[in-house]
Amino acid sequence: MTVLQTSRTDPTPPARKGRRRATALSGTDRIVLLLMVGVPTLLHVALVWVPTLSSVLLSFTSWDGIGDLDQITFVGTRNYVDIFTAYPRFWPAVQHNLIWLAFLILLPTSFGLLLAVLLDRQLKFTRIYQSVLYLPVVLALAMVGFIWQLMYEPNLGLVNNVLGIAQSSPVDWLGDSDINIYAVLIAAGWKHTGYVMLLYLAGLKSFDPSLKEAAALDGANGWQTFWKVTFPVLKPINVIVLVITVIEGLRAFDIVYAINRGRNGLELVSVLITDNIIGESSRIGWGSALAVILLVISLGFIITYLVQVFRREERT
Amino acid sequence: MTTTLDRPPVNTPGAGEREKKTARLRASRIALHTFLIAVCLVWLAPLLWTVFASLRTYEDTAANGYFSLPSELTLSNFGKAWETADLPNYFWNTLVITIPAVIVTLLFSSFVAFGVTRFSFRFNLALLMLFTAGNLLPQQVIITPLYRLFRLIPVPEWINYKETLLDTQLGLILIHIAFQIGFCTFVLSNYMKTIPNELTEAARVDGAGVLRQYWQVILPLCRPALGALATLEFTWIYNDFFWAIVLIQTGDKMPITSALSNLRGQFFTDYNLLAAGSLLVAIPCLVVFFALQRQFVGGLTLGSTKG
């Protein structure tokens, strides 16, 4: 927010909080207002929340999607039981999603924080460094997939050539199902690090420098200042970075689909859901049950995010 | 920002010690720059490698390999990729989808943000939370019923000869709007809250209706936020891959980012051509990066930190 607020030309003081006068609205005004809020809300609810709730309902039914709606039959939790016990692609996909989450949280996030802390000071060329590091953020994840395919090409790609194994014993980074998930994660991390760095840089910018100064006067070294002063103050940003990272991890789809349609070691829950629609078999109840599993996992984080964001809202 | 830190400490140490300190500081600065330059080079490597491959001829790389000094550099791969894969058609599709989606998203979300910040209903906060939560859902959660829904919604034949919303660019525009208004409403309502109520009150006393208060008082003040959001939304919708892969079935109707995976193998047969094609598709994003950096970064951090 800071970025924009400072760039605003008119210096209007912030509104006093919590003071809203009872406004008597005329009849037309009331209708206009109702339409202004109602139409977008209706569109959002109809295309986002109605399908979400339908997913939950449909997950307890069986329907091949071809017949009429009255062919839907209630099957209880059978879809879930089948997915957990008899679907060979499910657990590997869950495992890959977990690896994905753990990796994103551990590496790009901490590296992004480190870069933000290093760059948030008076340093020559800091703008240039920042720009280079966030360049991948503007690229589509699918595009990141294409670009890294060129990097990982066994004989022609840069990686094997730099390692000097392109001719002798090339590693097939994306084709070997034991390692390809990590190879893809490096590509995903290439984009995610810049994003995290930007979020932390914005957080550090609103950080009161006198705090750091006080710590320095008290004889704290850089390391102590960071852990005892800066990091605790960044807590709200930490929560947001964590939630964004988790949501990104659960949404992950584009990059694996662009590389090999999410097969051969790159299965993810999102890929299984998509395969169920545009792939070989179209089983609505089944696909919905997979979606609900994803929904339940993400809801916990979405609620954390809402609490964090809207609690601050009430304070300001 | 931290200039005060460079002031000498209160108990000025002896000159020799100070010199030692500056020397140590300089050494750590050099180490820092070395580290940052190294990281930046690694960061740029994938893009530079793609550019390098796209500029070389097939004959050159076939004879010498890619990890070699080029015998000649050429731009012909770009022209070839542009023509053989019919890229203008896909760029046009993207434009037809992205422009209306961004405009309507901003219009709708500013409506809602205006409504919830200027007037109090009973459900203000609940409404905002609904929008914010909706934007955070993984797309795959809603895709299965959405796909069915789109198949059931009829459209006139001139939009789609199959007469369903599925496989139309209109459907894609609608889902982009529905999904993205969540984020924009959240950001814009935070922004509008900083505008004093007295402004709209005064306009109201002067007899301005709700629409005029919105259009002539609030919206002009939101221009910076709208600019940032427009940049960000353009990038996101341009970069969309998932919605188009599922909701568009006819290859010719796909927007460019999703089309690329079909074009690969079919038209982009060699590595150099693929590199050139990928770069062409990335150009609008790179324009955003170079020309609208401030807006993009501003928009991205807008949702996470509030001043």
Task: Summarize pLDDT for A257-267 with one digit per residue, the tens.
Answer: 988 888 888 99
Confidence of residue A87 (pLDDT cuts 50, 70, 90): confident
Q: What is the pTM of this model?
A: 0.85
List Cβ neighbours of A198 (8 Å cut-off, separation of 6 or more).
A116, A134, A137, B297, B300, B301
Are B85 and B197 in a shared domain?
yes
- The helix (H) or strand (E) run that includes residue B26 is helix B15-54
Are B188 and B266 in a shared domain?
yes
Are B36 and B164 in a shared domain?
no
* Mean pLDDT estimate for chain B: 85
Confidence of residue B96 (pLDDT cuts 50, 70, 90): very high
Check residues B275 and B107 and name the one with the higher pLDDT: B107
**CATH code for the domain of B82:** 1.10.3720.10
Widest distance between CA atoms in chain B = 87
Are B108 and B18 in a shared domain?
no
Q: Do A8 and B224 touch (CB under 8 A)?
A: yes
pLDDT at B176: 95
Are B176 and B134 in a shared domain?
yes
In a domain? residue B65: no
| Chain B residues within 8 A of A216 when measuring between CB atoms | 5
Residue A174 to chain B, least CA–CA distance (Å): 16
| Chain B residues within 8 A of A307 when measuring between CB atoms | none
Residue B158 to chain A, least CA–CA distance (Å): 23
Are B171 and B35 in a shared domain?
no
Are B162 and B294 in a shared domain?
yes
Q: Which of A33, A119, A305 sits opposite B136 (nearest CB)?
A: A305
In a domain? residue B191: yes
CA atoms of B244 and B254, how far apart (whole Å): 6
DSSP code per residue over B93-114: HHHHHHHHHHHHHHHHHHHHHH
Q: Do A15 and B145 touch (CB under 8 A)?
A: no
Are B166 and B33 in a shared domain?
no
Probe site for chain A from B135, B141, B197 (most A CB atoms < 10 A):
B141
Task: Summarize pLDDT for B24-64 with one digit per residue, the tens.
Answer: 888 888 999 999 999 999 999 999 999 988 898 887 877 77
DSSP designation for A120: S
In a domain? residue B234: yes
Q: Which of A5-14, A144-153, A206-215 has the lowest mean pLDDT?
A: A5-14
Domain boundaries, chain A: 108-282
Average pLDDT over every residue of A3-30: 52
Fold adopted by A108-282? MetI-like fold (1.10.3720)
Are B104 and B211 in a shared domain?
yes
Q: Which of B61, B144, B190 sits opposite A276 (nearest CB)?
A: B144
Q: Do B120 and A20 touch (CB under 8 A)?
A: yes
Number of structural domains found in chain B? 2
Geometric angle at alpha carbon A208, from A204 and A210, rounded to 5°: 130
Q: Do A1 and B175 touch (CB under 8 A)?
A: no
Does residue B1 surpass a pLDDT of 80? Answer: no
Confidence of residue B198 (pLDDT cuts 50, 70, 90): confident
Domain, as residue range, for B24:
3-54
In a domain? residue B61: no
Task: Give the burial string for B274-285 (b: 16+ CB within 10 Å, else e).
Answer: bbbbbbbbbebb
Residue A178 to chain B, least CA–CA distance (Å): 23
Are B16 and B87 in a shared domain?
no
Q: Do B138 and A26 touch (CB under 8 A)?
A: no
| Chain B residues within 8 A of A213 when measuring between CB atoms | 2, 4-5
CA atoms of A61 and A77, how far apart (whole Å): 8
**Which two structure tokens, joined as six digits, stand for B116?**
């919830």
Q: Do A258 and B241 touch (CB under 8 A)?
A: yes
Q: Do A250 and B138 touch (CB under 8 A)?
A: yes
In a domain? residue B60: no
| Chain B residues within 8 A of A258 when measuring between CB atoms | 241, 260-261
Domain limit, last residue, from B39, B54, B69: B54
Q: Do A55 and B264 touch (CB under 8 A)?
A: no
The percent of residues above 90 in pLDDT, for chain A, comes to 30
pLDDT at B46: 93
pLDDT at A16: 44
pLDDT at A184: 94
Are B149 and B36 in a shared domain?
no
Are B166 and B288 in a shared domain?
yes
Q: Do B44 and A132 touch (CB under 8 A)?
A: yes
Closest residue of chain A to B305, computed from CA coordinates = A1
Closest Cα to residue B5, out of A255, A75, A210?
A210
Closest Cα to residue A129, out of A193, A211, A49?
A193
Does residue B221 surpass a pLDDT of 70? Answer: yes
| Chain A residues within 8 A of B115 when measuring between CB atoms | 33, 36-37
Closest residue of chain A to B3, computed from CA coordinates = A122
pLDDT at B14: 61
DSSP designation for B56: B
Burial of B72 from C-beta contacts in 10 A (0-12 / 13-18 / 19+): exposed
Q: Which of A65, A212, A270 sits opposite B148 (nearest CB)?
A: A65
CA atoms of A288 and A269, how far apart (whole Å): 12
- The helix (H) or strand (E) run that includes residue A213 is helix A209-217
Residue B136 to chain A, least CA–CA distance (Å): 7
Q: Do A254 and B242 touch (CB under 8 A)?
A: yes
